[in-house]
């Protein structure tokens, strides 16, 4: 899977959606117009004199400009406004979709065994793939086996699972389902899924209008004592609109099928690739075939969202319009030897008890000296910026790792068994008290505060006073309790903590989050300077949470030419070469190699060191995030080339690269020693 190509394909699906949307509207307009014109012709035939007097013509006439304008304007207005209203309702991202479907958010510190298992699996997948840990919702009223991923980007994504899913599947099968949903997140499918909900609602709303128009005509006739002559036109119009609405539903089904069916095969294949075990996703599909409730959804809103579920949730009378491929076809693509005997599989499954598979640890010689690479959260608080910065100094000596830029870029958006095993090991090494704290909204904030406390007693005291004034004395006491443990943690444990705490902090109220963001900002600027970790924490953690709380809009592509953001790309690459090299000859050579990786046609210039500060870097990353996927790929390839110019990567360089990648919504999984330069 090519992450950047997948992003481009996802954007291309929007064009398909617009095409079908326009086609459906034209069909509905045409039908309504033809029926209305036919009614006028019937009237003209029955009363030629009156029609001539009122309209100035006799006989049959099919072109009526005023009727055409009325139909085009009316249908466009109703459908467009309905779609806009629905999309506006879902503008909050995945949380809104999950709530619409009746989902209940699982608490980060839940004690329910089944819920704990799914939370752990989602957490492992997120840490391993390099995206923020998404909240998980359970649909308690759904006994069938199904799941979904929803959101506009990884920053506001959620995972939803049916109650039947977490109660029926074992850990391995559950991992296959979650890997399938993570594929949709990484492939950029979620945004088109939400837009599709809005489009389908707009098209289908005509059926609702037709129903009530028809009903109104019937009630009116009843009140007139059975004299329904005057209600006939209303009956006809209501019936026509109902028929058009039905046609709209058929069109909606065609759109869902056109957008989603092939994509499900890709997500299944990606799940196999992610877990490297076909029995996970394959086993889940076989259990579905044997399960009494299958994948059926009972929520009334299931139809409009059926395309985003793991498997067919709404039974269709038109198989060709099913939103998902046939279950057996999906299984045979994963396991060609499967006979279709679900009951036999379940008997064998019961015998072998395919429970949670503990994955082997990587060989000792493959441990990543930059364990810290366990990704962080996504992005920072609405417009808070990064405060006054000093010069971006060269990196300190530290652990190093051979790296191949091509392999690193190829790994973006990918997830593998080794990444999952690595993330499991990192989480296991986190002190138990910290692991518990990051899953609690109150203590989670204090973990972040503890990471920002300065060693200087004066600054430290000032920071504690800030926490007390903003959050209160209990927060000071909890932060003071945790700071000693946090200070003992190596860098590789801090970053996973930041990733895990994101999901916890997204449970805060908006007012609580604003206080938290303000406090983080004040703690960072307390010593009037910023280091690399503070930049990463503020920029990534708060920007991600901003999006989760709706303080930043979903990212839309604005730049399709590198010339449009040339100065920003130069600044990003300059920061990297200065960070990794102290001697002029070294950083000039590294920048030249990075410039070559960008391709020919543009003359690139090294940004002076005194202009490479975090404040300008924040702006550069914000603009780079508005670039097309193809440009982002080139930027990251050049960035990887810059830090690998000397054949190795330091801990600080690795942190910075992942921070850059996440800032432009390109998830980088853990980097392992297997990424050699040969």
Residue 172 lies in a domain: yes
In 3D, which of 562, 574, 580 has the Cα closest to residue 633? 562
Q: How confident is the model at residue 325 (pLDDT cuts 50, 70, 90)?
A: confident
Q: What is the DSSP letter of 105?
A: E
Q: How confident is the model at residue 54 (pLDDT cuts 50, 70, 90)?
A: low
Dist. CA 48–CA 42, nearest whole Å? 10
Dist. CA 414–CA 179, nearest whole Å? 11
| 403 vs 532, residue with greater confidence | 532
Tell me the two tokens of residue 38: 């036919």
Tell me the two tokens of residue 518: 């303000």
Residue 228 lies in a domain: yes
> DSSP strand E in 108-221: where?
136-139, 147-150, 158-162
Dist. CA 96–CA 87, nearest whole Å? 10
Q: For the residues 198-207, what does the mean pLDDT come to? A: 77
Q: How confident is the model at residue 411 (pLDDT cuts 50, 70, 90)?
A: low
Query: Whole domain around residue 241: which residue ranges?
Result: 84-351
Helices 417-429, 232-275: axis angle to 10 degrees equals 80
The set of residues, in sequence order, having a beta carbon less than 8 Å from that of 473 and lying 6+ positions away, is: none
Per-residue model confidence as pLDDT tens digits over 497-541: 888 888 889 889 999 999 999 999 999 989 888 887 788 788 778
Residue 102 lies in a domain: yes
Q: What is the DSSP letter of 238?
A: H
Instruction: Find the largest Cα–Cα distance for the chain.
Output: 99
pLDDT confidence of residue 535: 83
Which of the residue ranges 63-77, 355-369, 447-461, 607-621 would you say has the lowest mean pLDDT?
A: 355-369
Cβ density class 398-420: b for 16+ within 10 Å, e for less? ebbbebbbeebbebbbbbbbbbb
Q: Other C-beta atoms within 10 Å of 619: how many?
A: 15
Dist. CA 134–CA 131, nearest whole Å? 8
Q: Is 479 left (phi over 0), alpha (psi -120 to 50) or beta?
A: alpha
- For residues 401, 402, 407, 408, the Cα torsion angle rounded to the nearest 10 degrees is 30
Q: 161 forms bridges with which residues in the sheet?
A: 138, 147
Whole-number mean pLDDT of the chain? Answer: 78
Tell me the two tokens of residue 407: 């392999």
The per-residue DSSP string of 266-299 comes to: HHHHHHHHHHS-HHHHHHHHHHHHH-SSTT---S
In 3D, which of 402, 579, 601, 532 has the Cα closest to residue 591? 579
Q: With beta carbons less than 8 A apart as the criterion, state whether 553 and 625 touch.
A: no
Helices 113-129, 417-429: axis angle to 10 degrees equals 110
Alpha helices in 507-605 (DSSP H): 510-524, 532-536, 543-548, 566-580, 584-597
The sign one gets for the Cα dihedral 141, 147, 152, 155 is: positive
Tell me the two tokens of residue 677: 């330069």
In 3D, which of 124, 162, 166 has the Cα closest to residue 146? 162
The set of residues, in sequence order, having a beta carbon less than 8 Å from that of 641 and lying 6+ positions away, is: 405, 593, 594, 596, 597
Strand order of the sheet with strand 158-162? 104-105, 136-139, 158-162, 147-150
The 8 Å CB, 24+ separation contacts for 483-487 are 483/450, 483/453, 485/431, 485/433, 485/434, 485/450, 486/434, 486/447, 486/450, 486/451, 487/450
Q: For the residues 576-589, what does the mean pLDDT come to? A: 85
HEC sequence for 304-338: HHHHHECCCCCCCCCHHHCCCCCHHHHHHHHCCCC
Tell me the two tokens of residue 284: 């889940």
Residue 25 lies in a domain: no
Dist. CA 123–CA 114, nearest whole Å? 14
Tell me the two tokens of residue 336: 């060609």
Query: Cα angle at 589 between 587 and 594, to 5 degrees?
Result: 90
pLDDT confidence of residue 416: 62
pLDDT confidence of residue 6: 61
In 3D, which of 132, 671, 655, 667 has the Cα closest to residue 418? 671
Q: With beta carbons less than 8 A apart as the criterion, state whether 200 and 314 touch.
A: no
Dist. CA 324–CA 310, nearest whole Å? 8
| 262 vs 294, residue with greater confidence | 294
Cβ density class 481-517: b for 16+ within 10 Å, e for less? ebbebbeebebbbbbbbbbbbbbbbbbbeeeebebbb
Dist. CA 430–CA 84, nearest whole Å? 46
Tell me the two tokens of residue 525: 């600027």
Q: For the residues 489-500, what does the mean pLDDT come to? A: 79
Residue 223 lies in a domain: yes
Which of the residue ranges 399-408, 517-526, 620-629 would you say has the lowest mean pLDDT?
A: 399-408
| 538 vs 606, residue with greater confidence | 606
Q: How confident is the model at residue 370 (pLDDT cuts 50, 70, 90)?
A: very low
Residue 460 lies in a domain: no
Dist. CA 525–CA 523, nearest whole Å? 6
| 219 vs 107, residue with greater confidence | 107
How many structural domains is the chain composed of? Answer: 1
Maximum average pLDDT range among 165-179, 269-283, 613-627: 165-179
Residue 128 lies in a domain: yes
Say yes or no to pLDDT of 390 above 60: no
pLDDT confidence of residue 226: 52
Say yes or no to pLDDT of 144 above 80: yes
Say yes or no to pLDDT of 597 above 50: yes
Dist. CA 114–CA 169, nearest whole Å? 10
High-pLDDT (> 70) share of the chain, %: 76
Dist. CA 539–CA 614, nearest whole Å? 10
| 132 vs 44, residue with greater confidence | 132
Query: Cα angle at 10 between 9 and 13, to 5 degrees?
Result: 90
pLDDT confidence of residue 578: 86
Residues designated catalytic: 181
- Helix (DSSP H) and strand (DSSP E) numbers for the chain: 28, 6
Residue 109 lies in a domain: yes
Q: What predicted TM-score, i.e. pTM, was given to this entire model?
A: 0.74
Per-residue model confidence as pLDDT tens digits over 80-112: 888 888 888 887 778 888 988 999 999 888 889
């Amino acid at each position: 899977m090519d992450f950047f190509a997948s992003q481009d394909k996802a954007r291309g699906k929007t064009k398909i959606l617009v095409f079908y949307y326009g086609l459906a509207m034209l069909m509905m307009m045409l039908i309504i117009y033809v029926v209305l014109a036919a009614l006028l012709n019937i009237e003209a035939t029955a009363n030629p004199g009156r029609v001539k007097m009122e309209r100035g013509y006799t006989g049959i006439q099919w072109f009526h400009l005023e009727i055409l304008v009325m139909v085009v304007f009316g249908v466009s207005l109703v459908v467009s406004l309905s779609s806009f209203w629905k999309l506006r309702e879902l503008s909050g991202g995945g949380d809104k979709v999950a709530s619409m479907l009746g989902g209940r958010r699982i608490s980060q510190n839940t004690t329910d065994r089944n819920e704990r298992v799914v939370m752990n699996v989602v957490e492992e997948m997120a840490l391993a793939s390099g995206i923020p840990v998404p909240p998980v919702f359970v649909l308690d009223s759904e006994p069938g086996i199904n799941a979904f991923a929803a959101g506009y980007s990884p920053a506001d994504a959620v995972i939803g699972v049916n109650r039947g899913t977490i109660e029926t599947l074992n850990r391995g099968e559950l991992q296959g389902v979650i890997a399938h949903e993570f594929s949709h997140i990484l492939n950029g499918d979620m945004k088109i899924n939400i837009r599709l909900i809005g489009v389908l609602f707009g098209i289908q709303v005509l059926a609702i209008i037709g129903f009530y128009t028809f009903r109104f005509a019937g009630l009116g006739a009843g009140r007139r004592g059975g004299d329904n002559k005057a209600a006939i036109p209303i009956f006809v119009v209501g019936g026509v609109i109902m028929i058009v609405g039905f046609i709209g539903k058929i069109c909606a089904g065609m759109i869902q099928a056109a957008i989603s069916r092939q994509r499900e095969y890709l997500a299944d294949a990606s799940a196999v690739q992610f877990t490297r075990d076909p029995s996970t996703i394959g086993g889940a599909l076989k259990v579905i075939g044997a399960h009494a409730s299958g994948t059926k959804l009972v929520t009334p809103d299931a139809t409009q969202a059926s395309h985003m579920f793991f498997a067919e949730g709404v039974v269709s009378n038109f198989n060709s319009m099913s939103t998902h491929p046939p279950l057996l076809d999906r299984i045979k693509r994963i396991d060609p030897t499967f006979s279709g005997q679900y009951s036999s599989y379940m008997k064998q499954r019961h015998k072998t008890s395919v429970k949670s598979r503990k994955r082997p640890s990587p060989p000792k010689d493959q441990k990543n000296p930059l364990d810290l690479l366990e990704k962080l959260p996504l992005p920072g608080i609405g417009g808070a910026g990064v405060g006054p910065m000093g010069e971006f100094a060269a990196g300190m000596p530290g652990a190093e790792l051979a790296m191949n830029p091509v392999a690193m870029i190829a790994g973006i958006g990918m997830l593998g068994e080794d990444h999952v095993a690595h993330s499991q090991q990192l989480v296991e090494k986190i002190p138990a008290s910290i692991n518990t704290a990051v899953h609690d909204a109150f203590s989670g904030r204090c973990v972040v505060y503890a990471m920002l406390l300065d060693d200087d007693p004066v600054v430290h005291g000032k920071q504690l006073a800030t926490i007390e004034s903003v959050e209160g004395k209990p927060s000071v006491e909890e932060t003071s309790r945790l700071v000693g443990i946090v200070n003992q943690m190596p860098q590789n444990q801090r970053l996973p903590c930041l990733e895990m705490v994101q999901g916890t902090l997204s449970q805060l109220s908006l007012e609580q989050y604003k206080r938290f963001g303000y406090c983080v900002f004040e703690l960072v600027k307390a010593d009037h300077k910023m280091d690399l970790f503070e930049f990463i924490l503020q920029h990534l953690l708060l920007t991600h949470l901003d999006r989760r709380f709706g303080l930043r809009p979903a990212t839309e592509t604005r730049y399709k030419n590198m010339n449009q953001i040339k100065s920003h790309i130069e600044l990003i690459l300059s920061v990297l070469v200065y960070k990794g090299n102290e001697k002029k000859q070294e950083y000039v050579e590294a920048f030249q190699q990075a410039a070559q990786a960008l391709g020919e046609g543009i003359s690139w210039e090294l940004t002076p060191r005194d202009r490479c500060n975090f404040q300008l870097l924040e702006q550069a990353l914000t603009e780079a995030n508005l670039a097309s996927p193809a440009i982002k790929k080139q930027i990251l390839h050049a960035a990887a080339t810059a830090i690998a110019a000397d054949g190795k990567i330091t801990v600080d360089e690795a942190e910075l690269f992942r921070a850059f990648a996440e800032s432009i919504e390109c998830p980088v999984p853990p980097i392992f020693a297997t990424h050699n330069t040969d």
